[in-house]
Structure 1
Amino acid sequence: MNVSDLCDRYMLAAEAGAILTRFNRPKKASTLATDKGRISRHIKPLMGKKAVEEIDSRAVKRLISDITTGKTAKVVKTKLRGRANVRGGPATAARVADLLSGIMTWAVDEGIIQHNPVHRVRRFRSEARQRFLSNEELGRLGAVLVAGKDDKEKPFHPHAVNIVRLLCLTGCRIGEITGLRWTEIDFELKCLRLEDTKIGKSLRPIGDSAVMVLRAQNRVAGSPFAFTGSRRKVPYQGMAKEARRIFKAAGIAGATPHTLRHTFASTASGLGYSDGTIAGLLGHKGRGVTSRYVHRPDQALASAAQAVSEEINILLDPAKRKLEPVERSVSSAISNVDLETENRPS
């Protein structure tokens, strides 16, 4: 059996749900599509014809080197008018090697080979991205969202504007918001009951500001999605392009929709919330819905979600931000008076 045949067998098993992720769940369609691309554009061209038994650590190192130096880089036609710009580089080489390692591990489990030749082969590991928006950048972003158009007076898609605002206010992943269904929104308890996230089902409390954005979103008859695409049976598909336009109009460099998730976490940290609370707000593994008997959001998380959401909502509006210290001092004074009244002996 050659490597090409092995990859085909692996993909058949993955598509059947027999290959599990590190979260012990079958791979999603988007992940399968990415795997297919890496196999067809990198693995098969470089080692597809070689027998699986011939693949050793040296062959893996050559694969990594060839991808790193751009040997497989090219422009590939994908759809009628689409194309993919296949690039090399150390990060791409590392991801392809990780996929190959998964394929080889599966081959070991299936008794095809004795050991995984990718194990212990060194490859590039980038540092985790720490980019998040500053308060000033959030103010510029908020102004652009209110204007709803770029510097050439070209309007943004209304869905894109609301999605970016929700990403800021909830800390959700981009796919969790673009694919959000009306059935997953609990307006009464102010939470999202997400059915299919990176870790499975997840219950996320959200603040009043996020609830208001969702309530203002128009429902499209016949569509289950809060942000409906051009076809009613699919969600909105234009976020990649519109997000770049929005960030560019706000003069924000090096940011992606995922940066807004980091920004939410950073804001929560700045407000003094613990790592465990922040993990719960973001829906990290271990803090999602782990029991079918959990029906209400944790009250402490709900309170934190409200506070972080309101903080970011203020930062998105420069005018509100200027009033913030006064509002907070008044609020604090009222709270102190209430506390003193409560504790005053009758």
Structure 2
Amino acid sequence: MKLTPDFLKTVEPQKGKRLEFRDDEEKGLIFRVTESGHKSWSVRYVAATTGEQRRETYQYPEIGLARARELCRKLKGASSEGRDVAGERKRARAESERAKKDRLELIAEAYFVASKIGAQRFGSQVKPKSETTIAEETRVWNSDLKPKFGQRPVTSLTNREIGDYISELTATATSKGRNAHRLLRQILNYAILRGVIEHNPADRVAVVAIGERKRYLSDPELKAMWDLLSNIEEREKIQIGDEMALLLQFLILTPLRVKEASGARWSEIDKGKKTWTVPADRMKGKRIHIAPLSPAALAILERARQIVGDETYVFASPITAAPLARQSIAHAFSRAAKHLKFTERATPHDLRRTQTTALTSKDRLGVGRDIARLLLAHADNGDTISRHYDCNDYLSEKADAAARWGSLVMKIVANDK
């Protein structure tokens, strides 16, 4: 029959039947009405590429009569040209669904989950990443990579655009570019592991190398920093509270890493033995470390106890009672250095270099490098004897070195040369 707009509007459904009306004007165009009253179009044609019958459906009234006839003509025309429109659409939908599953954002989420159990890359001896590392990588992902590439299918990323973007980040800060590139490369390697891609588009991207830092605090800088942290009125101007000030002073006196010190628990402190036992899971080298405490360091702990009371952590946040965050510590130290107008940028990690430089200098404390390395909790650098045969803990030697450093710091801050 010849379909008309008025007929389409007024045709009524019949109970127990699905009505079909074939259009005389366009062969293959069918108007359907279900028992419930739902109306739709169906276009039937033969795919030239396979010889199979195909059907496309459209909803009424979203698609009216004129538009339905136009679509029917296009489908039949494409078929006569040797195209399979329905097949093309099916493949396009499948590709769209695959692209959604292969979005970098989803690959990154899976990568972070795998990192917690050591399944993020090839190898049978891959270790799980620490919570601190995963937290830092997550920060880099959220701030620098997700906004740029998160919604992109992994297969669409190119070496050139990655290189251009890393160059943009590097222009703002060298470490920013390096950190983003390192993480993106690892996530894309994980995509290779999953079979999503065969080659890593982040390989062979030029990244600016960061030179080895030689920064350490001079005696005047050390004294200025200590005095600022001891001056409540001055440090409140740069928003450094009691807990943060004591932690930074503790870092001056003990050469362990920020994450190792910030997570210190009272249960790890033995005042009688004057030691602090850091568990393996918080140490970079994943080995228990016994750090001797100088009288100056013990004095800091005594003041911390008066402030935090019975909290679990030595340097607990006054808001959450959790350890002070690593980023907050770095920012606080940076604010202090800027407030003191240091001529060179300084970080909490430079305090380790400051202590070690003084310890090993023959003109100052003259401590052996091996003892300094033990205080730092550094790896054995491939020394077979140290790793396998030397069972000494050198605690007395470390305690002597720590006490001598604590005394030197007190002399410096008292300006008693």
Give the TM-score, by structure 1 length: 0.72
Matching residue of 1:197: 283
One-letter identity of the residue aligned with 2:402:
A
The aligned counterpart of 1:283 is 377
Q: Is structure 2 residue 135 aligned with structure 1 residue 39?
A: no
What root-mean-square deviation, in Å, do the aligned CA atoms of Structure 1 and Structure 2 show? 3.4
- Amino acid corresponding to residue 316 of structure 1 in structure 2: V
User: Shift in Å at residue 240 of structure 1?
Assistant: 4.8
- SS for the counterpart of 2:290 is strand
CA distance in 1: counterparts of 2:147 and 2:331, whole angstroms: 31
Aligned-partner Cα distance in 1 for 2:236–2:111: 49
1:218 paired with 2:272, answer no
Q: Which secondary structure does the structure 2 equivalent of 1:261 belong to?
A: helix
State whether residues 169 and 209 of structure 1, in contact with CA within 8 Å, keep that contact through their aligned partners in structure 2.
yes
Which fold has the larger relative contact order, with Cα–Cα distance below 8 Å and residues 6 or more apart in sequence?
Answer: 1
Q: Does 1:316 align with 2:413?
A: yes
Q: Displacement, 1:97?
A: 0.7
Whole-angstrom distance in 2 between the partners of 1:42 and 1:142: 35
Q: CA deviation at 1:297?
A: 5.6
From 186, 206, 213, the equivalent of 1:129 is: 213
| 2:204 counterpart residue number | 120
Q: Secondary structure at the match of 2:211?
A: coil
Deviation at 1:135?
1.4
CA 316–41 in structure 1, closer or farther in 2 if over 3 Å, else same: same
Task: Tell me the SS of whatever aligns to 1:218.
Answer: helix
CA distance in 2, matches of 1:10, 1:153: 42
Matches within 5 A, 1:82-101: 88-101=172-185
Q: Letter of the 1:278 partner, please give it.
A: A
What residue is the counterpart of 2:355 in the other structure? 264
Equivalent of residue 103 in structure 1, options 178, 183, 187: 187
The 8 Å contact of residues 229 and 235 in structure 2, kept in 1 or not, is answered as no
Normalising by the residue count of structure 2, what TM-score does the alignment of the two structures yield?
0.61
Q: After the TM superposition, which residues 234-273 of structure 1 pair with which residues of structure 2 at under 5 Å, given as runs?
A: 234-236=322-324, 239-240=329-330, 242-244=332-334, 246-248=336-338, 250-253=340-343, 254-270=345-361, 271-273=365-367
* Equivalent in 174, 177, 180 of residue 258 of structure 2: 174
Provide the residue aligned with 1:229 in structure 2: 317
AA in 2 matched with 1:214:
L
Q: Structure 1: any 5+ residue segments left out of the alignment?
A: 70-87, 323-346
Q: 1:161 to 1:24 in 2, by over 3 A?
A: farther
| Matched letter for residue 146 of structure 2 | K
> How far apart, in 1, do the equivalents of 2:269 and 2:149 lie?
47
Question: What is the CA–CA distance in structure 2 between the aligned matches of 1:48 and 1:284, rounded to whole Å?
Answer: 37
From 208, 233, 254, the equivalent of 2:295 is 208
Structure 1 SS opposite 2:233: coil
CA distance in structure 2 between the aligned counterparts of 1:61 and 1:115, rounded to whole angstroms = 15
Q: SS of the counterpart of 1:121? A: coil
Residue 99 of structure 1 and its aligned partner are, at CA, apart by 0.4
Distance 2:315 2:323 in 1: 6
Q: How many Å separate the matches in 2 of 1:2 and 1:282?
A: 42
Per-residue CA deviation, residues 203-239 of structure 1 (Å, 9 max, x unaligned), is 2223222123223432545511112222464134564
Identity of aligned residues (%): 24
User: Are residues 41 and 221 of structure 1, via their aligned partners in 2, closer, same or farther at CA, if it must alter by over 3 Å?
Assistant: closer
Distance 1:207 1:189 in 2: 11
* Aligned position for 1:11: 112
Cα distance change of structure 1 residues 122 and 277 upon mapping to structure 2, 3 Å threshold = farther
What amino acid is aligned across from residue 189 of structure 1 in structure 2? K
Q: Which of 1 and 2 has greater Rg?
A: 2
Give yes or no for the alignment of 1:57 onto 2:159.
yes
Provide, for residues 77-96 of structure 1, a one-character-per-residue CA deviation record: whole Å limited to 9, x for no partner: xxxxxxxxxxx444312211
Shift of 1:258: 2.3
Native 8 Å contact 2:359 2:405 kept in 1: yes
Is 1:67 matched up with 2:169? yes
Aligned residues between the structures: 297
CA contact (8 A) 2:265 2:313 kept: yes
Aligned counterparts of 1:153 and 1:56: Cα–Cα separation in 2? 48
User: Aligned partners of 1:274 and 1:109: how far apart in 2?
Assistant: 46
Conservation of the 8 A alpha-carbon contact between 2:359 and 2:366: yes
Asked if 1 retains the 8 angstrom alpha-carbon contact of 2:119 and 2:126, the reply is no
Whether the 8 Å contact between 2:174 and 2:208 is mirrored in structure 1 is yes
Structure 2: runs of 5+ lacking an equivalent: 1-101, 382-386
Conservation of the 8 A alpha-carbon contact between 1:222 and 1:232: no
Shift of the 54–131 alpha-carbon distance from structure 1 to 2, 3 Å rule, reads same
